[in-house]
Amino acid sequence: MLKRILVTGGAGFIGSNMCEYLLKLNHEVVCLDNFITGRRENIDEFLANDKFTLIEGDIRSLDDCRQAVKDADAVLHLAALGSVPRSIADPVTTNDININGYLNMIVATRDAGIKRFVYAASSSTYGDSESLPKIEEVIGKPLSPYAITKYVGELYADVFSKTYGVECIGLRYFNVFGKKQDPAGAYAAVIPKFTDLLINKKAPTINGDGSYSRDFTYIDNVLQINYLALTTSNNNALNEVYNVAFGESSTLNELFSQIKLNLLQFIPEIESIQPIYGPYRKGDIPHSLASIEKAKKLLSYNPEFSLTEGLEKTVKWYYESTVLKTS
């Protein structure tokens, strides 16, 4: 039975939402974070909960990993240095955290006798493969240091599963969005960045002509599949990787229009704002669309929120947490 769950990167966007989800289900939650990209305000509301423990530590330290896994029944490994552009700018730190840190975490899991290790993989693993929709068994060559690091995690999971009996499940996230995703900084994701700029009545810049498309995935769909991966008793579902998406793609132009439409009810004066079109970004693939049939079949994944439904909730949250809190 799962009582105590370690969430690495628990102060990050996905991690803090996952901590909240697990606490609501009455689990004990241990959050390991070094706050390089995680934010204290993401977890402030949990600190008074006696089922929540914060360990300020770094996955690059094996000792920190060993402390964090103590008495845990399962590990949800979300800690990583994200972003393709950041990895191109600084491949050494990306490698250190995403490969060395990952290895420390899975070694600590093995040594503590913990069976279930669910980890964040990435859709960047598909690299230069042009086939659509993306199916888990068909990948291309990586296009960035970040993509390499995430693929190495999958290879380690396979070896640790077969060699040491650790039950590993990897989740290849496709463009996750939702509340608590940081709009600030050079490496902010597109949805919080566009939303934040429009709230401030500024035009966002789209890389390219806006025709590139992505399979945007609302956070609640991600929480669902993480919990399914942590709790599944289907042996056929173990030692596998799964696409985590909604299974529909939208262009950046369509995305901009939807965000703007959702904000117009709050800020009607942004109606005339149009995006600025800039150069294409290094390492970007033109199109991304996931097949989610494998996750549906083996994990009973059933994503409930489309881009449209997720954006409605997300944009409202950003507006309320920025404009209303400061007014």
The single residue of 21, 146, 151, 173 carrying the catalytic annotation is: 146
CB-CB contact of 76 with 118 (8 Å): yes
Q: Is 119 assigned a catalytic role?
A: no
Give the helix ranges, DSSP H, for the chain.
13-24, 62-69, 84-89, 91-95, 102-111, 145-164, 190-199, 219-231, 252-264, 293-299, 307-319, 325-326
d(CA 81, CA 94): 6
CB-CB contact of 177 with 189 (8 Å): yes
Nearest residue to 206 via CA among 261, 157, 252, 172 = 252
CB-CB contact of 68 with 108 (8 Å): yes
Residue 133: is the preceding peptide bond cis (ω within 30°)? yes
CB-CB contact of 211 with 253 (8 Å): yes
CB-CB contact of 225 with 173 (8 Å): no
Q: Do strands 74-77 and 52-56 pair parallel, antiparallel, or not at all (unpaired)?
A: unpaired
Q: CA-CA distances (angstroms) from residue 11 to 3, 72, 81?
A: 20, 18, 13
Residue 205 CB coordination number (10 Å): 13
DSSP code of residue 98: I
Q: CA dihedral defined by 123, 128, 132, 136, rounded to 10 degrees?
A: -50
Q: What crossing angle do the helices spanning 190-199 and 307-319 adopt, rounded to 10°?
A: 50
Catalytic residue IDs: 146
